[in-house]
Amino acid sequence: MRELNVIERALMYALFVHLHHNIDNVIDFEEIDKLNQKIRRKLFPDILLIGPGDDAGVIGIPGTGIKLVGKMESHCSPCVVDPWGSAFTGGGGAIRDIVAMGARPLFLEDFVGLGSLDKKVLVGPCGFKGECRCGKCQWMTNQARLNLITKGVRDVCKLMGVILLGGGLSTSLDGVVPAVVVSVVGRLVTDKPLTKPFKNPGDSIILIGETDDDGNDTIFRAGLAKEMKPAKPLLEEERTSMEAALAAIRTGLMHSLSDLGAAGIGAAVCEAAKTGGLGAEIELSKVPMKQGKQLNPAELILNETQARYSFTVSPENVQRVLKEIKGAGGVGTVIGEVKEDTKTIFRHNGEVVASISNRPSKEVLDFLKSPQEDDS
């Protein structure tokens, strides 16, 4: 087996091992599909357009022509470090999943689960250890932590123009990590929903948004970093990127669209390649970075900076779509190309820094599942 470098290990762990990207390994999606098909045949034959498996699900409301998009997302572990910011970015991630199907988000519901409200918890970078060694943490009650989480959800709804419809609360989850879950529903702005998979070799891959040095969750989960650094809430940039994506969507020229969440550019591109049965080449030196930042290849691939999307269009339509993005105040950049292949190649200034196969061998998967030495 070819030795995997640190970038390949972290990204492939996220793509093929961690349950965030592999929920079908523990939930019987086949039984869910059977249920959905049975209900369709009996009651609503035209209602289900896209079921579990893409960025979000899509249904058509019978007799109305209205198509709704729904997605549920969790952001639990980062709320140990930053309850307000991580609740905000969790809501933002679910909203981007709605946009990624070609829809404008309409309303959000949230659920928070934690322990007794008067129990003291450590909030900050050392929250998982229960003892602060960095000087940045603070002890607070679960009530105070709950207030920060719900404020984060309210703030992202206010920013994005999304109605906060309701939610739920439990105080019976007495662990270190609170449950923070949001569900968002939106309305399609196109005739047909967009989907994640790459479809056409030769298409240009365009990134909306800029990449920063925040959001190392993938590396942390893979055991390659000692401290989790949650993605930073980007406030106005999140709304700007959404409006830029919707402006590009309305051209009708997009062939695929994904939001950037867990594992960043790496996961968005590799999942689109894998589900489409194609490959891609990405030139990381073309990825726009926040002003004054210098990021290494691992950060450019894996960082989970918010307010970003990636999509594909035919090369002849690139300039028209980029014009629409710019007109909406967004930043759009061509970073790569879809290939007739079964792997995704990431280059930095022309040098290959990671090669990710759509179908890793059993030997590679067994290696990824085994405990790894911390070489971060």
Structural domain contains residue 181: yes
| Rounded distance between C-alpha atoms, residue 229 and residue 220, angstroms | 8
- In a domain? residue 10: no
User: By CB neighbour count within 10 A (0-12 exposed, 13-18 middle, 19+ buried), where does 194 fall?
Assistant: buried
- The yes-or-no verdict on residue 373 having pLDDT over 60 is no
| 221, 235: one domain | yes
C-beta of residue 184 within 8 angstroms of C-beta of residue 95: yes
Who wins on pLDDT, 370 or 353? 353
Per-residue pLDDT of 283-327, as tens digits, reads: 999 999 998 889 989 989 999 999 999 999 999 999 999 999 999
**173 in the same domain as 238:** no
223 vs 210, higher pLDDT: 210
How many domains does the chain divide into? 2
In the chain, where do the E strands start and end?
48-50, 57-60, 67-74, 103-113, 120-123, 138-141, 163-170, 179-188, 204-208, 256-259, 279-283, 309-313, 332-339, 343-348, 351-357
How many alpha carbons fall within 13 Å on the CB side of residue 215?
29
Do both 310 and 349 map to the same domain?
A: yes
Q: How far is CA 242 from CA 9, 12, 263, in A?
A: 31, 28, 20
Same domain, 172 and 224: no
Which of 158, 193, 228 is the C-terminal boundary of a domain? 193
CA-based nearest residue to 309, from 171, 168, 206, 212? 206
Residue 249, token pair as written in the block: 């969507």
Is residue 338 over pLDDT 50?
Answer: yes
Does pLDDT of 257 surpass 90?
yes
217 and 174 within one domain: no
| One-letter amino acid for residue 243 of the chain | E
Q: What is the pLDDT of residue 55?
A: 85
Angle between helices 6-16 and 362-369 (to 10 degrees): 100
What is the reported pLDDT for 51? 85
> What is the average per-residue pLDDT within 344-357?
97
Closest-CA residue to 280 (of 222, 211, 204, 359): 204
> Domain span at residue 261?
195-376
Q: What is the pLDDT of residue 87?
A: 96
Question: Taking 50 as the threshold, does the pLDDT of residue 374 lie above it?
Answer: no
- Which CATH number does the domain housing residue 95 bear? 3.30.1330.10
Residue 23 domain flag: no
In the predicted model, is pLDDT for residue 227 greater than 80?
Answer: no
Q: What contacts 158, CB < 8 A, 6 or more positions away? A: none
- The SS3 assignment for 48 reads strand
Q: What's residue 63's pLDDT?
A: 87
Percent of the chain at pLDDT exceeding 90? 75
What value, to the nearest 5°, has the Cα angle with vertex 319 and ends 317 and 320?
65
The amino acid present at 155, given as its one-letter code, is D
pTM of the model: 0.90
Q: In this structure, is residue 86 part of a structural domain?
A: yes
Residue 16 included in any domain: no
Work out the average pLDDT over 237-246: 97
Are 285 and 327 within one domain? yes
Q: What percentage of the chain exceeds 70 in pLDDT?
A: 97
Residues 92 and 220 in one domain: no
Final residue of a structural domain among 170, 193, 216: 193
- Tell whether 361 is covered by a domain: yes
Q: 126 lies in a domain?
A: yes
Is a pLDDT exceeding 50 seen at residue 280?
yes
Mean pLDDT of 343-365: 96
- pLDDT at residue number 222: 66
Q: Which of 131, 161, 193 marks a domain boundary?
A: 193
pLDDT of the residue at 375: 41
pLDDT in the model for residue 348: 97
Structure tokens at 190: 């196109």
161 lies in the same domain as 238: no
Residues 256 and 359 in one domain: yes
Pairing of the two strands 103-113 and 138-141: unpaired
Strands 120-123 and 138-141 come out as antiparallel
The per-residue pLDDT for range 106-139, each reduced to its tens digit, is 999 999 999 999 999 999 999 999 999 999 999 9
- Mean pLDDT for 96-111 is 97
The per-residue pLDDT for 376 is 34
CATH code for the domain in which residue 272 is found? 3.90.650.10
Distance from C-alpha of 349 to C-alpha of 284, rounded to nearest angstrom: 7
Judgement on whether residues 166 and 217 belong to the same structural domain of the protein: no
CA distance 13 to 219: 9
Instruction: Report the pLDDT value the prediction gives residue 223, as an integer from 0 to 100.
Output: 65
342 lies in the same domain as 221? yes
Domain shared by 210 and 247, yes or no: yes
User: What is the tens place of the pLDDT at every residue in 31-56?
Assistant: 999 999 898 888 888 899 998 878 89
Does residue 32 sit within a domain?
Answer: no
Checking if the pLDDT of 141 tops 60, the result is yes
Res. 174 pLDDT band, cuts 50 70 90: confident
Q: Indicate whether 225 pLDDT > 70.
A: no
